[in-house]
Amino acid sequence: MADDILPYGRQWIDEDDIAAVVEALRGAYLTTGPTVARFEAALAEALGAAHVVAVCNGTAALHAACAVAGLGPGDEVLVPALTFLATANCARYVGAEPVFVDVDPRSGLIDVEHAASLVGPKTRAIIPVHLNGRPVDLPAIRALADRHDLVVIEDAAHALGAQTADSTIGDCRYSDMAIFSFHPVKHVTTGEGGAITTAKPKLAAALEVFRSHGMVRDPALLRHASPGPWYYEQHTLGYNYRITDLQCALGLSQLTKLDRFVARRRELAARYDQLLTTVSGVEPVAVGTAGTRSAYHLYAVHVDFAAIGQPRAQVVAALRELGILTQVHYIPVPTQPYYTDRGADPLGYPGATAYYEGILSLPLFPAMRDEDVDRVVAALTQVLG
């Protein structure tokens, strides 16, 4: 394998990020301290969100959103068939059932018409996914939700910094809540971490309680007279989903670079778009909804493996030998044994199947140089013959 490895994604940590974490290490609080609130406020300002509640990871954010939305046994949640497992699993965490919705085979985004056809008497929510960083048709999702009184939870784990024609992903103009992930391959990182945004104060308050064991300390909310400042009450079943001050110190530093990071991702994506026009059998994933701007968490392409006469595994292995690491996002969730055991039809989603069969994520992260994109395209051209 080549010594100079290009992964499909990677964090960008500068000395100021390290200094921010070191400063937090020297502070009075390592967790559950003031840096968490500062990070939440900074994220709210960046997104134009009314409320932000930070948690330990993106999956916890999804779980928390489903829980405070009141979803539970007997409820159904519309979820795209092509997404990461957590988008569907969060419904199961609260006892609800995911109902899988097919996706557009070119963009991978949820098919709103198919979603509408699946709404039934038990349908309580829909979780659209901004796959690869490309926003779904949120006005159409909102209109569907309003017709059937559904909760809308945006899975924006890929979409920090993305925009629709008239909003920023995360401002919740068209949704009840939106969730984000700060895993190292995402737009900014806290190591591991996540957040939920909402415009609704009651949901924000419930999220804060949920992430900390269901405990309340506010005297105005206590059911019994407090005997002293140590007193707390558990009002609901919550979890220890808190994020640390160390993580939020890193997140605060990283957030100052969000605009630069997203701009660089878009520049690299534009270079890929240009260079790939000369590569036969390879086509960038469709833009999706008109008027939106992707945050390009991933740069994914459709490859006609049948036409080139090579299976995907062979192409992935050959690129790896040249130092180019790729990935596949994602295997359709209804094909997973856990869900087929629960009755999911692995062949019932032709759009998701078509998208999966040809998809490949190429390296994309802000620290890449223009020459790195050239190298990836040259390697892809060589491997595909």
User: Which of the residues are catalytic?
Assistant: 186
Residue 286 to residue 9: CA distance in whole angstroms? 20
Residue 184 to residue 192: CA distance in whole angstroms? 7
Q: Report DSSP state, residue 100.
A: E
Residue 116 to residue 330: CA distance in whole angstroms? 23
Residue 292 to residue 297: CA distance in whole angstroms? 15
Alpha carbon of 351 to those of 101, 135, 273: distances in Å? 10, 18, 23
Identify the burial level of 71 via C-beta atoms within 10 angstroms of its C-beta, where 0-12 means exposed, 13-18 middle and 19 or more buried.
buried
Q: At residue 12, what are phi and psi to the nearest 5 degrees?
A: -125, 105
Residue 206 to residue 43: CA distance in whole angstroms? 19
Phi-psi region of 48 (alpha: psi -120 to 50; beta: other; left: phi over 0): left
Alpha carbon of 281 to those of 168, 315, 331, 353, 375: distances in Å? 34, 13, 21, 18, 18
Phi-psi region of 289 (alpha: psi -120 to 50; beta: other; left: phi over 0): beta
Read off the tokens for 106: 């070119």
Q: Report DSSP state, residue 244.
A: B
Residues 6 or more apart from 313 whose CB is under 8 A from it? none
∠ CA 238-240-244, rounded to 5° = 140
